[in-house]
Structure 1
Amino acid sequence: MTSPSPSLPTADQIRRAPKVLLHDHLDGGLRPGTVVDLARQSGYDALPESDPDRLGRWFREAADSGSLERYLETFAHTCAVMQTRDALFRVAAECAEDLAEDGVVYAEVRYAPEQHLEGGLTLDEVVTAVNDGFREGERRARERGHRIRVGALLTAMRHAARSLEIAELANAHRDAGVVGFDIAGAEAGYPPTRHLDAFEFLKRENNHFTIHAGEAFGLPSIWQAIQWCGADRLGHGVRIIDDIQVADDGTVTLGRLAAYVRDKRIPLEMCPTSNLQTGAAASYAEHPIGLLRRLHFRATVNTDNRLMSGTSMSREFELLSETFGYTLDDMQWFTVNAMKSAFIPFDERLAMINDVIKPGYAELKSEWLFTQTAATRASSPGNA
């Protein structure tokens, strides 16, 4: 008897599948109800809506503008309510809980400490509050039967001048839950080369960093992030598609930068829904991830900002499965890619792949095969 042909995973299978998330912003993933609660507690009265459901819709609609700059404006509200230790602790704990509930087993969540100082906290106090919150969220997840590990990425804003200070902060907390560094914010006019001193410091300290590049700006941003700054990963990187030509007959030609990114296995932190909102892609079907997966780039699937995009890892995989016909095998490929690219030690990455990810997908595939085989037998003529 031949094996059933591959079919799309169900929503439940996608949710239960072990997933790895490398690109998620802490201030872009708050629960709408938490934003309302924290605003009330802090006296922040500038929210556009006071009802959590309506507020959640407002964030999604405001972010769905086709402009990265407009998209970034929505963060004024979330950052405004994240200015105390209690608020940061709560948001971080809920982040870990929510990701674990969605089947995420490893996540790197980023935030900019310099944006959380208005309540009098020091940079170190901000980092400690978030790290403590992640540990509490991991503990609560375990109580519910979920396994998750969350590492923090400290982000410097590319329009500001504190990147070296934040890089030093990341290095100081690297054994206490911080796994790397990032720069973020509007790309146009703020090239990564403005922050070379931070990247040189991190390289001297043998530390890891990713750079937002190739999202709203094109190939020069990617080239600078890799060749001048030495980024370990590219945040988004969707514009690498500009260096790939597909002829009418389907022949694919890679430019030298695209070939270098593929050859060097430089991870691409792709965020499909967010990329549509900011205008980096026109539709899911036209998102570069489809071609990059076929060409075996080190592509990964991410959420970027779960609140603003109204998304989750499960939703991203559901949309990609519906669009490109991705199966559980494809999901495993993306997930292993992400785990290989994480900023934790090699032996810990390997253990996650061999002890958590591969067994998790093997169980789901076995379950799927059993269901398909039973359905085939039930529908065969001999059982009519």
Structure 2
Amino acid sequence: MTLSIEEIRQAPKALLHDHLDGGLRPATVVELADAIGHPLPTTDVSGLGDWFHAAADSGSLERYLETFSHTVAVMQTEENLRRVARECAEDLADDGVVYAEVRFAPELHTEGGLGLDAVVEAVLAGFAEGARTAAENGRPIRIGALLTAMRHAARSMEIAELAVRYRDTGVVGFDIAGAEAGFPPTRHLDAFEYLQRENARFTIHAGEAFGLPSIWQAIQWCGAHRLGHGVRIVDDVTTGADGEPVLGRLAAYVRDTRLPLELCPSSNLQTGAAASISEHPIGLLAKLRFRVTVNTDNRLMSATSVSREMALLSEAFGFGWPELRWLTVNAMKSAFIDFDERLALIDDVVKPAYAKLIAG
């Protein structure tokens, strides 16, 4: 039986790959843009939401990147950053997300004169406010930040140091993002080696637009604890003479070491990694028992939520409550918070709720 979005919204979920500047409410973009005089494609709230999705869906990288120019433009003050972060926490909690790691690139929010520390503190304050409101509404959420460095820039060490500086006040890890081709993760090796020396956690965008070399470098050179997307690991899975899947060395390593894959199905359709949800590699990767997690990437650009992503997988692959529980536990096991806190969420929140759903 296919599960609906509304049914899935009632289940506890965990989210590891979500971009703050890709998840704004259209109404908030309109309001904040008007206040600073930033021109938008349309000021009709519903129409703007449709525009973001259509532009991201167009197949044009230029139009896709234009979507972020509008969201980042309205995220240049402490007040606006705080509001966007607060609404992010509230929206995720409303969708039934009980644990979330939301990433943003501090260096993109300094055009109005803010320093990196001020950017981080504003976002963390917003997350805390949103979490308090969510708890008061009976939908508690634990939300942490991932600080992202842009892989085409040269500030990764600075951002890595920032992540370590704020790791006890809400930052749970580090990430690099941006165009993979021409900007390999090894360009930022000093930052990753610094993080390893500091016992800090990090994920790396790899294996989305670019293939196996990007994944290999992220793991074996840089020491990634998770793969941001990682969907192209399927390129190292072939079909044997007996029709059964055969894992190459890299794919076997990823599966054997339980390296988490932060898969984002709808986003992958927009970037061309799959032609449809039913053809998305997540079906095969889940069947082969990789450490698969389900994520949103950019909720505004993909017009999605965690519940919607799971509903699409339920329809395409027949995923029921047991499979959604497995995906959620996978994500919680892979979270960048301490073991005791992860275990408490799994044992006290996730498993009891799914046990009731499975029992009917």
**TM-score normalized with structure 2 length:** 0.98
| Matched position secondary structure for 2:356 | helix
**What CA distance in whole angstroms lies between the structure 2 residues aligned with 1:10 and 1:117?**
41
From 267, 288, 310, give the equivalent of 1:295: 288
From 130, 135, 141, give the equivalent of 1:148: 141
**Larger-gyration structure (1/2):** 1
Alignment check: 8 A CA contact 2:14 2:98 kept:
yes
Per-residue deviation, 1:54:
0.6
**What CA distance in whole angstroms lies between the structure 2 residues aligned with 1:12 and 1:61?**
24
Aligned to 1:226: 219
**Amino acid in the other structure paired with 2:342:** R
| Matched position secondary structure for 1:307 | coil
Map 1:109-148; keep pairs closer than 5 Å: 109-148=102-141
Per-residue deviation, 1:69:
6.0
| Matched position secondary structure for 1:310 | coil
Q: Cα deviation per residue 1:135-168 (whole Å; 9 max; x = unaligned)?
A: 0000111121101010000000000000000000
Map 1:127-276; keep pairs closer than 5 Å: 127-247=120-240, 249-276=242-269
Alignment check: 8 A CA contact 1:68 1:216 kept:
no
Per-residue deviation, 1:198:
0.6
Matched, 1:38 2:32: yes
Aligned to 2:78: 85
Change (3 A) 1:328 1:162: same
Aligned to 2:11: 17
**Amino acid in the other structure paired with 1:86:** E
**TM-score normalized with structure 1 length:** 0.92
Aligned residues: 360
**Amino acid in the other structure paired with 1:363:** K
Per-residue deviation, 1:74:
1.5
Aligned to 2:270: 277
Aligned to 1:96: 89
Q: Cα deviation per residue 1:321-356 (whole Å; 9 max; x = unaligned)?
A: 000000000000000000000000011100000000
Aligned to 2:347: 354
Per-residue deviation, 1:71:
2.6
Per-residue deviation, 1:123:
0.3
Mark the runs of 5 or more structure 1 residues left unpaired by the alignment.
Answer: 1-6, 369-384
Per-residue deviation, 1:305:
0.2
| Matched position secondary structure for 2:17 | strand
Per-residue deviation, 1:72:
3.1
| Matched position secondary structure for 1:297 | coil
Q: Cα deviation per residue 1:183-205 (whole Å; 9 max; x = unaligned)?
A: 00111111101100110110000
Alignment check: 8 A CA contact 2:2 2:311 kept:
no
Alignment check: 8 A CA contact 1:94 1:137 kept:
yes
From 309, 315, 332, give the equivalent of 1:339: 332
**What CA distance in whole angstroms lies between the structure 1 residues aligned with 2:65 and 2:335?**
25
**Amino acid in the other structure paired with 1:13:** E
Matched, 1:73 2:66: yes
| Matched position secondary structure for 2:208 | coil
**What CA distance in whole angstroms lies between the structure 1 residues aligned with 2:257 and 2:53?**
36
| Matched position secondary structure for 1:344 | coil
**Amino acid in the other structure paired with 2:125:** D
| Matched position secondary structure for 1:361 | helix
Name whichever of 35-44 and 311-320 sits farther off. Answer: 35-44
**Amino acid in the other structure paired with 2:117:** D
**What CA distance in whole angstroms lies between the structure 2 residues aligned with 1:247 and 1:260?**
19
| Matched position secondary structure for 1:175 | coil
Identity rate of aligned residues, in percent?
Answer: 72
From 23, 26, 29, give the equivalent of 2:23: 29
Mark the runs of 5 or more structure 2 residues left unpaired by the alignment.
Answer: none
Per-residue deviation, 1:248:
7.0
- RMSD (Å) for aligned C-alpha atoms: 1.1
**What CA distance in whole angstroms lies between the structure 1 residues aligned with 2:197 and 2:60?**
36
